């Protein structure tokens, strides 16, 4: 493994904590694209700057995957600290400036709200979406069916759309392992 490859592996896998207890995740890919996510007890904010597509692959939209993982990780961390939260779907903000130009800045703000008990909290988070096409929500529901506890349902946002055509449904649920006591 080259020094450059090792640098990228370390960059992707390390979380750095600042004095405000925010988690910062910086992801780079051969210097072509960069995303930066910061999470606190109030939510996660991040941005991807780079090409929309590389070799036909929708790399910009993959930032939603990166953000979903960061949000789920933060919700689990807060739950373990007995700081029970869920995503505030109403106040999610998405921006996709430059879409269609070949280079895009994709910004996401995923806010959290406090809930009164551990079984009102959600500790897993995902999405389904697409650029200029309807998200395959029914297919995604089927894919996630096996992650649900018995008699539990996915909590799904209304569709969120940017002026440039990104459409996303955001999805949260109780993690089977983290919230087993909420069965």
DSSP code per residue over 26-48: EEEETTTEEEEEEEETTEEEEEE
Rg (CA), the chain: 17
Which tokens go with 112? 């959290």
CA distance to 14, 93, 141, per residue, from 108 (Å): 21, 6, 22
Per-residue model confidence as pLDDT tens for the chain (183 residues): 443 333 333 333 333 333 234 444 444 444 445 679 999 999 999 999 998 878 777 788 889 999 999 999 999 999 999 999 999 999 999 999 998 888 999 999 999 999 999 999 999 999 999 887 889 999 999 999 999 999 999 999 999 999 988 999 999 999 999 999 998
What pLDDT, on the 0 to 100 scale, is given for residue 183? Answer: 87
SS3 80: helix
pTM exceeds cut of 0.85: no
* Dihedral Cα 148, 45, 65, 182, nearest 10 deg: -10
What pLDDT, on the 0 to 100 scale, is given for residue 157? Answer: 98
């Amino acid at each position: 493994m080259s020094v450059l490859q090792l640098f990228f592996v370390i960059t992707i896998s390390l979380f750095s904590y600042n004095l405000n207890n925010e988690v910062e995740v910086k992801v780079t890919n051969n210097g072509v694209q960069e995303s930066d996510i910061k999470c606190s007890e109030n939510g996660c904010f991040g941005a991807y700057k780079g090409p929309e597509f590389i070799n036909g692959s929708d790399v910009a939209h993959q930032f939603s995957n990166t953000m979903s993982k960061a949000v789920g990780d933060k919700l689990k961390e807060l739950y373990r600290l007995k700081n029970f939260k869920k995503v505030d779907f109403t106040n999610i903000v998405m921006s996709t400036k430059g879409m269609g130009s070949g280079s895009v800045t994709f910004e996401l703000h995923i806010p959290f709200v406090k809930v009164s008990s551990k079984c009102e909290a959600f500790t897993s988070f995902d999405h389904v979406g697409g650029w200029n096409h309807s998200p395959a929500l029914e297919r995604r529901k089927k894919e996630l069916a096996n992650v649900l506890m018995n008699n539990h349902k996915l909590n799904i946002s209304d569709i969120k759309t940017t002026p440039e055509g990104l459409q996303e449904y955001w999805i949260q649920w109780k993690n089977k392992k983290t919230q087993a006591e909420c069965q």
